[in-house]
Amino acid sequence: LLMSCISLMELPFEWLFNFPKTKAYVLPALAIDVFYFADLYVFYHTGVLVSGIVRTDKGSIMKSLKKWKKAIYWIVPWPFYIIGFLIHDDYVYNALVMIKFLRIFRLIDAHHEIRNKIIIYGAASTMYILLCYLLLIIQYLACIWWSVGNYQKGNNTWLIQSGVSEYSKISQFFRTYYHITTTITTIGYGDLHPYNITEMIVIIFI
């Protein structure tokens, strides 16, 4: 569940901030892909419940998954975006990295597993699921909020007026994530805030 959320968090970050695709940048993404390969191996070696009996043979396990989902499970671990990295083309990289969006199906399945197949489903599991989804929602809202400040014309934007634009992109991202976190959790320190009507509308929506 958490790894799927992290993969989905990566997508708007890749497209909007568009950091240089160095080895140090790509390696963490490859580490998550290795995790997905391990997850796939575990999935195909985990017994399934058939008529009250746990079946561990490969045939029963394969039948438990629909063909279209089986195809998705085989596609999502592969790092197709590495092609863009090897040919030094950011457009190809950003296009191929969107295949990771298919990992939303693994997230849904993980959610289903936690809710329906864990013997003790209590407050801790509920809080864990909510935390993962909260991190994901904040990430997308933070990327939207940064884009609003970055792509507007003129100087009357929250990025410029607050001085955040003077920092590096990675620092801008963390400050934006911090701002959306304090906004969405209703803490609202007020150190970062909208400066024009467009930004006010977006913040009201958030």
Mean pLDDT taken over the chain: 90
pLDDT above 70 covers a percentage of the chain that reads: 98
Beta pairing, strands 53-55 & 48-50: antiparallel
Which residues, 6 or more positions from 64, have their beta carbon under 8 angstroms from its beta carbon? 48, 50
Model confidence at 45, pLDDT cuts 50, 70, 90, reads: confident
Backbone angles phi, psi at 55, to 5 degrees: -105, 130
- How much is the average pLDDT of 113-142? 86
Q: What CA–CA distances, in Å, run from 195 to 67, 138, 180?
A: 51, 21, 15
Other Cβ atoms closer than 10 A to 79: 18
User: With a threshold of 0.85, does the pTM exceed it?
Assistant: yes
Are residues 138 and 181 in contact, defined by beta-carbon separation less than 8 angstroms?
Answer: yes
pLDDT at 46: 83
| Cα separation, 27 vs 128, whole angstroms | 27
Backbone angles phi, psi at 18, to 5 degrees: 50, 60
Model confidence at 118, pLDDT cuts 50, 70, 90, reads: low
- How much is the average pLDDT of 59-70? 83
Backbone angles phi, psi at 19, to 5 degrees: -70, 155
